[in-house]
Amino acid sequence: IVLTQSPGTLSLSPGERATLSCRASQSVSSSSLAWYQQKPGQAPRLLIYGASRRATGIPDRFSGSGSGTDFTLTISRLEPEDFAVYYCQQYGTSPQAFGQGTKVEIK
Amino acid sequence: EVQLLESGGHLVQPGGSLRLSCVASGFTFSNHAMSWVRQAPGKGLEWVSSISGSAGSTFYADSVKGRFTISRDNSKNTLSLQMNSLRGEDTAMYYCARNYDILTGYWSAFDYWGQGTLVTVSS
């Protein structure tokens, strides 16, 4: 399964809403879709799993939705610490795969 | 507190070998599948390999199959990746990661990550 994320870069201001897309080349099994955040020089951090379940300690401004081949990560109001690269991952079909990433940058 | 600490990365010549290790603490290691994920400089994430909690099942990306071997020692809470026939395209930061779901094992996301160990393949 190939995951395609869009847009490649999202330029927004703090307080704005961010909508990130992840499209799969075939249906993702059992909504086995995760989202990660990565900041420069840091390891990725799990935000969302099972397409819509927030991981432990993740603020509720982060939400995931979608099923089948189309998934979305929404950040309701961007905080300064949210500017980072975001990756989607499918883990329901072998081999697991990541999307190429969406960079959310300060406008 | 869950901690994953990788080691073993360094500069190696093409065709060479390297063994990465990841020491885990703060959880029952044998309950969780574990994985390696890599990231080439300036690039995205690539899943490399996974192993079940019991070490009975292993999984590999096509790009490393036949060259890399994943293993674990549950008595020492240690995950390993033996890397042979290394190529320039294997240059990357290698992360150790825990598969979060005890029941589904490999078929789950990565909830904890180490800080990574850098492998550079160059002559």
Quick: pLDDT tens for A43-60.
Answer: 999 999 999 999 999 999
Query: Bigger pLDDT: B104 or B91?
Result: B91
On the question of pLDDT at A30 being above 80, the answer is: no
To the nearest whole percent, how much of chain B has pLDDT over 90? 94
Q: Using a CB-CB distance cutoff of 8 angstroms, which residues of chain B are in contact with residue A100?
A: 44
Supply the pLDDT for residue A31. 83
Whether B65 and chain A come into contact, CB under 8 Å, resolves to: no
Supply the pLDDT for residue A53. 97
Report DSSP letters for A36-71, one per residue: EEE-TTS--EEEEETTTEEPTT--TTEEEEEETTEE
Supply the pLDDT for residue B118. 98
Q: Average pLDDT in the A1-25 region?
A: 97
CB-nearest to B47 from A38, A42, A97 is A97
Residue-wise pLDDT for A81-107, tens only, equals 999 999 999 999 989 999 999 999 999
Compute the nearest-CA separation of B7 from chain A (Å): 15
CB-nearest to B111 from A32, A42, A46 is A46
Phi/psi of residue B109, nearest 5 degrees: -75, 175
pLDDT band at A29 (very low <50, low <70, confident <90, very high): confident
Strands A70-75 and A102-106, how do they pair? unpaired
A67 is written with which tokens?
A: 């099923």
Whether B109 and chain A come into contact, CB under 8 Å, resolves to: yes
Residue-wise pLDDT for B79-90, tens only, equals 999 999 999 999
Supply the pLDDT for residue B23. 98
pLDDT band at A72 (very low <50, low <70, confident <90, very high): very high
Q: Average pLDDT in the B37-66 region?
A: 96
For residues B23 and B111, is the Cβ–Cβ distance under 8 A?
Answer: no
The chain A residue lying nearest B46, using CA atoms, is A98
CB-nearest to B115 from A36, A43, A55 is A43
Which of A32, A89, A96, A102 is the best mutation test for B, with the most CBs of B within 10 A? A96
Q: Using a CB-CB distance cutoff of 8 angstroms, which residues of chain A are in contact with residue B95?
A: 43-44
CA distance B110 to B101: 9
To the nearest whole percent, how much of chain A has pLDDT over 70? 100
Any idea which residue has 């005890």 for tokens?
Answer: B102
Whether B100 and chain A come into contact, CB under 8 Å, resolves to: yes
Residue-wise pLDDT for B103-119, tens only, equals 888 889 999 999 999 99
Supply the pLDDT for residue B102. 84
Q: Using a CB-CB distance cutoff of 8 angstroms, which residues of chain B are in contact with residue A55?
A: 111
Q: Using a CB-CB distance cutoff of 8 angstroms, which residues of chain B are in contact with residue A38?
A: 45
Supply the pLDDT for residue B79. 98
pLDDT band at B32 (very low <50, low <70, confident <90, very high): very high
